[in-house]
Structure 1
């Protein structure tokens, strides 16, 4: 079972890893694809807008007024490159182009900080300058001046950041959408664990799948079932003990009442013969009370939850043969005829608890002595299945039992067989009664303690 769980755990772990890897890869792919499509589309729109609109012309209008005033105050010509370069430095400008009649008079350009769209504009600067240049009156005549400060680059940065953010959000949305079922399962699992902690064990946990969450759910469901079975078992044991105590109290009242009556009558008898008669009756009732108390004591010992240490695996003939021989001898001494077939025709090994076996044989002897017909034989026999060695005891039921049955002796046998990892079954009709003891056959290995 542990190996199967380990294999299932490894399989579910791999499935979960593959699922995570697939979701991450898919989310990144689609997020990147959407981001790239949006960026390229936005870049194309911005590029087209800046090429066809008068944005670059309008954005530099104030700068051109400043240039015109400086030219007028300093009597600057379009060919005064040193003064123009100095003015650009004072104004923190990096790019200016001056032309007259399609002839370049001044050109000071820097492309190191331009975006790809800007570089394309600079490469086609003559055409761009024609559309966006301002007319400036220099001392040697008017000329077209184009100043570029990269004001439109902020739009490309905004486009890049916004499309990147959209791509990240898309990836996250895809990833968490893929894990929506797992998140819901975790919430359900958390609620069910809280219910179990609160003592609600009646509601099953149903989460399907083959990943680690489903594996964990299966383990918790097994734990819930085990706790529920344990609680039900404890409740049944408690009820059985209550019924047993009530039954024993009732069964003890009858012999006690008879005992008290016999002792009272014993005191009043004048002759020794009459006193002996009532004394013998009182002794019989005292023995009945002692037997009932002993059986009750055995029951509470056998019903204890502590596991018992079993003997090592041993041949059934040697482990059980002495006990059956002892029972055979006891019954023969009581006048019963016993038929014992070939009891151990097949060699098997079993494990027993010696003290329990003594008590079981004593209970079987007591039951046969009290309730079996002494005119009919008692039959011992053995049988086996793949897992159990079965020992059977069969007798005819007496027409008038020695004493009424409380059933506690059979309950003791069942409990002690259970503590030895076996079981007990009984069959009865109006004529015959049979009790069967099931002893587990030793396989490759056994734990050192019983699992009861």
Structure 2
């Protein structure tokens, strides 16, 4: 099942969503869980009472040092402003004499207020008599504020860690691709490109790996071509050196007249034979150079397979008969069209005929068969190899030419030797006939 490709935008969007979700969970757990623990601690301790008692002691010292009365509201307010976020009230005989919420308004108050048992009253001696001081404060808010700040910091840290970790995987993959591309630039085409994920970088990696394989195949083809050329040059040098040496010997014999008059004709015939041999070798090299290795050729319009090869095989059969060869024909003409180059077809048939004359044993029939095969058509040539020694060793240039020409036409040249039986098969892919359109 083919998975739908995602994008880096979707990847980072999901990463942001995941990071944000984790950050919210971290904040909620720390803030509300920690807040509950703080509430449990403060509810079971006298933390706030201790803070209030410290303020009362400070206020009492301030009153004594300044000899304040309950009516000195301005000076009492001055002390209050140094201790913000509290509410302070001063009572005498359950009558409110001072409140930090409205310092001036409480002076004329004569209303008696009820006494609350849950409120902590602290007696403070003033210059005009002892009064009861009540302080309302919540000093625990600072701890909840610090807890909120800590929760936000931890949530932000969790967000950054998860997001950066997700980004780190992408960055690490980009760095890995960079290293592999540098290896490819350095000529090491064996290092495969790593595939990771299913996004734009993955598709880029697939394209890079396809390019690497293409370069690798091209490099291998160039190496094979270079080796084939080197082998051809080596073989041709060896093959040319032998007849040239013999030719030089015969010409020296004639030049220095080291022969009997009756031997002159024989030496001339040998010189002529060696010259013909050298000419044939040069023609082989010429034919080899006529097949372009890196250029495409323009094939002709598709034609029926029978039309392409019927006359060619007929001429080959006539020539083989003239050379005292027998043959067996198993011609099944499939109703398929092929697209070829007529020039290449003629050269192919000439090469096949030349090899049959040179290597085939005339005492055994040559099999020529045609058949439909592998989405195309094939021609098979099969012969028994002659046991007679050859006057000249082959260079295999003709076979290399045939394979190159077949490859240019989109086909394939397959050769196989089993014991003394040699087989050569030329396979052509079938193509549909173009439909001629028109208007009536």
Q: Check whether TM > 0.5.
A: yes
Check conservation: 2:77, 2:100, Cα contact below 8 A: no
Give the whole-Å Cα distance in 2 for the aligned partners of 1:319 and 1:337: 23
Partner residue of 2:412 out of 423, 429, 441: 423
Partner residue of 1:360 out of 339, 342, 348: 348
> How far off its partner does 1:11 sit?
1.9
Q: What is aligned with 1:314?
A: 303
1:97 aligns with 2:88: yes
Give the whole-Å Cα distance in 2 for the aligned partners of 1:443 and 1:134: 114
Check conservation: 2:291, 2:405, Cα contact below 8 A: yes
Written as runs of structure 1 = structure 2, the 5 A alignment for 1:366-405 is 366-374=354-362, 376-400=364-388, 401=390, 403-405=392-394
Q: What is aligned with 1:114?
A: none
Check conservation: 1:371, 1:402, Cα contact below 8 A: no
Q: What is aligned with 2:22?
A: 30
362-371 or 153-162: bigger deviation: 153-162
Give the whole-Å Cα distance in 1 for the aligned partners of 2:433 and 2:171: 45
Cα displacement string for residues 223-248 of structure 1 (whole angstroms, at most 9, x for unaligned residues): 44444443333333322322221111
Q: What is aligned with 1:144?
A: 133
373-382 or 214-223: bigger deviation: 214-223
Question: Compared with structure 1, are the counterparts of its residues 64 and 427 closer, same or farther at alpha carbon in structure 2 (3 Å cutoff)?
Answer: same
SS of structure 1 residue aligned to 2:4: helix
Q: What is aligned with 1:231?
A: 219
1:409 aligns with 2:398: yes
Give the whole-Å Cα distance in 2 for the aligned partners of 1:289 and 1:128: 128
Give the whole-Å Cα distance in 1 for the aligned partners of 2:56 and 2:278: 121
SS of structure 2 residue aligned to 1:305: coil
SS of structure 1 residue aligned to 2:331: coil
Check conservation: 2:370, 2:377, Cα contact below 8 A: yes
1:77 aligns with 2:71: yes
Q: What is aligned with 1:163?
A: 151
Check conservation: 2:71, 2:97, Cα contact below 8 A: no
SS of structure 1 residue aligned to 2:120: helix
1:438 aligns with 2:430: no
CA RMSD of aligned residues (A): 4.3
Give the whole-Å Cα distance in 1 for the aligned partners of 2:94 and 2:433: 103
Partner residue of 1:291 out of 273, 277, 280: 280
SS of structure 1 residue aligned to 2:299: coil
Give the whole-Å Cα distance in 2 for the aligned partners of 1:384 and 1:293: 37
Check conservation: 2:195, 2:205, Cα contact below 8 A: yes
Question: Compared with structure 1, are the counterparts of its residues 270 and 22 closer, same or farther at alpha carbon in structure 2 (3 Å cutoff)?
Answer: closer
Check conservation: 1:295, 1:408, Cα contact below 8 A: yes
Aligned residues: 415
Partner residue of 1:130 out of 98, 114, 120: 120
Q: Which sections of structure 2, spanning at least 5 residues, go unmatched?
A: 103-115, 435-440
> How far off its partner does 1:426 sit?
1.8
187-196 or 408-417: bigger deviation: 187-196
Q: What is aligned with 2:63?
A: 68
SS of structure 1 residue aligned to 2:378: strand
> How far off its partner does 1:424 sit?
1.2
Give the whole-Å Cα distance in 1 for the aligned partners of 2:28 and 2:423: 85
Written as runs of structure 1 = structure 2, the 5 A alignment for 1:31-50 is 31-47=23-39
Partner residue of 2:235 out of 243, 247, 253: 247
Question: Compared with structure 1, are the counterparts of its residues 47 and 138 closer, same or farther at alpha carbon in structure 2 (3 Å cutoff)?
Answer: farther
- TM-score calculated relative to the size of structure 2: 0.75
Question: Compared with structure 1, are the counterparts of its residues 318 and 139 closer, same or farther at alpha carbon in structure 2 (3 Å cutoff)?
Answer: farther
Question: Compared with structure 1, are the counterparts of its residues 261 and 429 closer, same or farther at alpha carbon in structure 2 (3 Å cutoff)?
Answer: farther
- TM-score calculated relative to the size of structure 1: 0.73
- The structure in which a higher percent of residues are helix is 1
Q: Which sections of structure 1, spanning at least 5 residues, go unmatched?
A: 1-6, 111-125, 446-452
SS of structure 2 residue aligned to 1:13: coil
Give the whole-Å Cα distance in 2 for the aligned partners of 1:136 and 1:307: 115
Question: Compared with structure 1, are the counterparts of its residues 94 and 404 closer, same or farther at alpha carbon in structure 2 (3 Å cutoff)?
Answer: closer
Check conservation: 2:416, 2:423, Cα contact below 8 A: yes
Check conservation: 1:129, 1:145, Cα contact below 8 A: yes
386-395 or 173-182: bigger deviation: 173-182
Give the whole-Å Cα distance in 2 for the aligned partners of 1:419 and 1:136: 117
Question: Compared with structure 1, are the counterparts of its residues 361 and 144 closer, same or farther at alpha carbon in structure 2 (3 Å cutoff)?
Answer: same
> How far off its partner does 1:428 sit?
3.1
Check conservation: 2:124, 2:133, Cα contact below 8 A: yes
Q: What is aligned with 1:350?
A: 338
